[in-house]
Amino acid sequence: MANREKLLKKISNNRSGVRFGDLCKLAELYDFRLDRIDGSHHVFTYPGLERPLILQKMKDGKAKPYQVKQVLEAIETISGNY
């Protein structure tokens, strides 16, 4: 549980410099399920959420900032806060 909050805090404090692998790991730590990989798109689902999270790595290995925001908003939705 501590690793989950530590990674969440790290990503929340630096939304533009997030490694793609860290963002995927955070989604998995919050029980999002990697449903499929379609080319460069990683599709994560969560029971009860209408829309899946679709994450894509940039050429420098970082996550796209708007997708970081989407993950953080989804975590806030499922957990009530962060």
With beta carbons less than 8 A apart as the criterion, state whether 44 and 70 touch: no
Q: Output the pTM of the full model.
A: 0.91
With beta carbons less than 8 A apart as the criterion, state whether 8 and 22 touch: no
Q: What is the mean pLDDT of the chain?
A: 93
Tens-digit pLDDT profile for residues 26-63: 999 999 999 999 999 999 999 989 999 999 999 999 99
Which domain covers residue 47, as residue numbers? Answer: 2-79
| Rounded Cα gap, residues 47 and 50, in angstroms | 8
Structural domains counted in the chain: 1
Residues 6+ apart with CB under 8 A from 72: 11, 12, 15, 82
pLDDT at 2 (0 to 100): 77
Mean pLDDT of 15-23: 95
